Amino acid sequence: MARIDSLALDGVTRRFGAHAALSDLNLEIAGGEFIALLGPSGCGKSTALNCLAGLLPLTSGSIRLDGHRIDHLPPERRGFGMVFQNYALFPHLTVRANIGFGLKMAGVPKADAATRVERALDLVHLTDQARKRPGQLSGGQQQRVAIARAVVLEPRLVLMDEPLSNLDAKLRLEMRTEIRRLHQSLGLTTVYVTHDQEEALSLADRLVLLKDGRVQQTGTGEDVYLHPANRYVASFMGYRNMLTLPVLDADREQAVLAVGGERLTGRNRGSVGAGQRATAALRPEDITVTTAPGGLRAAVEVVEYHGREMVVQGRLKDGQEVHFTTPERLAPGDDVRLTAPEHRVLVFAEGPS
Amino acid sequence: MTAGGGRKDVALRHRLAERGIDRTLWLLLPGVAFLVVLFCYPFAYGLGLSFQPKEGGGPFANYRTFFSDPYLRETVWITLRLAVPAALINVLASVPVAFRTRGRFRGRRTVTTLLVIPVTLGTVLTAEGLLGYLGPAGWFNKALLEIGLIDQPLELVHNYWGVLASLLITGFPFAYLLTLSYLTGIDPSLEQAAATLGAGWWQRFRTITLPLLTPGLAITFCLTFVLAYSVFPSAQLVGDPRGSTHVISIEAYDAAFKQFDYSLGSAIAMIMALVMLAVVALVLVWRSTFYRGATGGKG
């Protein structure tokens, strides 16, 4: 395995006409790392991947692999493996020929290529399907062919463009584990594009959150999950409650917000001051229903049964919607009191993040 | 209709559907009738007529006449010598042009319109243009004479080359439009995938695009070949209709409308149809050795 030491993206920018699909992406990837580019559609994550693959030229910036510039190289000379969202399997070739395509292009001797293809087939459990054409396979099998085809060359870097988005929920979970297993057992360096925060958290060593072509936050899953850098990242990472509230009192650490006549205390993440309006970000699962006095009063409106717990939508006294989970059997119309630990309430400055 | 009647109707439709009968297909009936009246009947009539020679001599007399006369027999090969190269050149030329014009670029519509315009000209106007441009006193020869490349005008019309040029001008737009639609049906991510796997542009074309495109090119070849094989006006106007471009349709026309021997004319038309069918069948058999499924990337 030609393991890389580092891949450095420096000010990578791609414009389409006046529209900047990707602006000033700076990222240093270490060998063996699993990086997820995360964001909604149109955030620039696929553009970044295509720039890395060489399928899109950069408008400005540079990409260096172990110190050598590679951004001027065409895709066929970069030696990266890529898994496409629609798999892009060659429909006229058998599974075996699909996987062996790259080896043939590289001029690997036939006997050697054959053993490597067999090993790759074994790796993705497709030895029995080797003679079939892609059209005769299920979605999950096609997906595994696409992965085998990309990794059989033992590429320096594997790029994956939402490879699980066309699969059903159960298969997606299985393939997720499979991808992580391959990454570890082959010692790959992987850049993975997805819009699914759960997928990114479970797979990646580090996440890069993008919005409108700009990086919002780079960090480990825990960083991004527990310490979102701004309102946008928070809302993307599962902080479903974004309450806009006036600030009663604030210092560097804490902010106290008013909800109707009640109070909500949280961590001051946006250097907000008293008298301003701020956004309190809260995960539904961090809210608990309490019988003790204090807390925020809310009226239950919608109750969804989710097995172990209920997902409830309620309305606070100031009229804002609030989402929370509880094991208690609530019914629409019930009045409840809600609390959340102070360190789980993140207070950001109001307005565009 | 009452509610009860409606239910019965639905039930009948379901019963028919279970036997694989779709009543909506009856709407095809007028079209089928049209085809029978305007194609099948004349064809059968012509076939029958060809076995009833004017001068008698048994049902195959017309066919014997055609194949025993070298002047008539030759027309099969003369026409093939025009139609096969014309169709081949059109198909081969359409591939790079379609390749270049498949993506999005400024002025794409203008370029494709210009490429397709010759279809609207018709063979007569094309022939007139060729006579004026490629004739002994045409611009082309004049220009070559002026710059001293030649000292005798080239003979480019009233021979094989004039007709071939005409077939290329009128046939290319068809070939181009067909090839373009086949080419745009191939998912571009297939070529991108091949590139990330280390294939250069020629390898990508040879191993991915060409094999997926070939079935389409075979169909394109068949259609342009059939068009070219029935060449008539340009063989008369810019060709040498008694010599090198003595094509088979000229002989069919002469027999039917100059000698008023409809029977012989029909026989020649049948021979023409047979030759075309044979070539098309050959190409389709070859085509069947290729992958002909979806080319959309997901297999």
CATH of the domain at A34: 3.40.50.300
Residue A338 in domain: yes
Q: Does residue B198 contact residue A79 with C-beta atoms inside 8 Å? A: yes
Tell whether A198 and A329 lie within a shared domain.
Answer: no
Predicted local confidence at residue B298, as pLDDT: 39
Q: What is the pLDDT of residue A340?
A: 92
Tokens of B45: 């009539």
Residue ranges and CATH numbers for the domains of chain B are: 1-50 (no CATH), 66-287 (1.10.3720.10)
What backbone torsions phi and psi does residue B236 show, to the nearest 5 degrees?
-75, -45
**A37 and A130: one domain?**
yes
- Give yes or no for B293 touching A (CB within 8 A): yes
Is A99 an 8 Å CB contact of chain B?
Answer: no
Q: CB of A49 within 8 Å of any CB in chain B?
A: no
| Three-class DSSP category at A96 | helix
Give the mean model confidence (pLDDT) for residues B59-73: 92
Interface contact A142-B298, CB threshold 8 A:
yes
Predicted local distance difference test score (pLDDT) of residue A351: 66
Question: For the sheet containing A68-69, what is the strand order?
Answer: A19-30, A6-16, A60-65, A68-69
**Which residues of chain A make contact with B294, given a CB cutoff of 8 A?**
91, 135
Same domain, A293 and A311: yes
Q: Which residue has the tokens 């990242």?
A: A233
pLDDT confidence of residue A189: 94
Residue segments in chain A with a per-residue pLDDT below the cut of 70? 1-2, 351-353
Closest chain B CA to residue A154? B197
CB-based contact B299 A86, cutoff 8 Å: no
Whole-number mean pLDDT of chain B? 89
Cβ-based contacts of A137 with chain B (< 8 Å): 299
| Predicted local distance difference test score (pLDDT) of residue B89 | 97
Kindly report the pTM of this predicted structure.
Answer: 0.83
The verdict on B24 touching A (C-beta cutoff 8 Å) is no
**Looking at residue B296, what is its pLDDT?**
67
Element (H, E) at B32: helix B29-35
pLDDT at B136: 87
Q: Say if A220 falls within a structural domain.
A: yes
Q: Do B297 and A79 touch (CB under 8 A)?
A: no
A204 and A174 inside one domain: yes
Q: Domain range spanning residue A17?
A: 6-232
What tokens appear for A308 in the block? 């172990």
Claim to verify: residue A136 and residue A265 sit in the same structural domain: no
* B294, closest residue in chain A (CA to CA): A91
Q: Look at residue A2 in the predicted model and tell me its pLDDT.
A: 61
Q: Reading across the β-sheet that carries A310-316, which strands appear in turn?
A: A288-290, A335-339, A296-305, A310-316, A321-326
CA–CA separation, A191 and B71 (whole Å): 72
pLDDT at A216: 94
Which residue carries 């594997």 as its tokens?
A158
Based on the fold, state whether residues A248 and A222 are members of the same structural domain: no
Q: Which carries the bigger pLDDT value, residue A293 or residue B141?
A: B141
CA A36 to chain centre: 6
Does A116 lie at the interface with B, CB-CB under 8 angstroms?
no
Q: What is residue B68's predicted lDDT score, i.e. its pLDDT?
A: 94
B182-189 mean pLDDT = 92
Whether A311 is covered by a domain: the verdict is yes
Please answer yes or no on whether A55 and B203 come within 8 Å at the CB atom: no
Residues A72 and A98 in one domain: yes
Whole-number Å distance between alpha carbons of A25 and A215:
7
Is B211 within 8 Å of chain A by CB? yes
Q: Put residue A79 in one of left, alpha, beta given phi > 0 → left and psi -120 to 50 → alpha.
A: left
pLDDT at B3 over 70: no
Provide the number of structural domains found in chain A. 2
Residue A1 placed within a domain: no
Which residues neighbour B128 within 8 Å (Cβ) at sequence distance 6 or greater?
B237
B203/A105 touch (CB, cutoff 8 Å), yes or no: yes
**Tell me: the pLDDT tens digits for A12-23?**
999 998 899 999
Same domain for A41 and A124, yes or no, is yes
Interface check for B299 against chain A (CB to CB < 8 A): the answer is yes
* A55 and A126 assigned to the same domain: yes
Which residue, A232, A259, A279, sits at the end of a domain? A232
Given this model, what pLDDT does residue B297 score?
44
Residue A110 lies in a domain: yes
* pLDDT of the residue at B121: 81
Interface of B with A in 45-64 (CB under 8 A): none
My answer on whether A220 and A241 are in the same domain is: no
Q: Note whether A212 and A239 are same-domain residues.
A: no
Q: Where is the domain boundary, A186, A217, A232?
A: A232
| Whether residue A25 is found in the same domain as residue A100 | yes
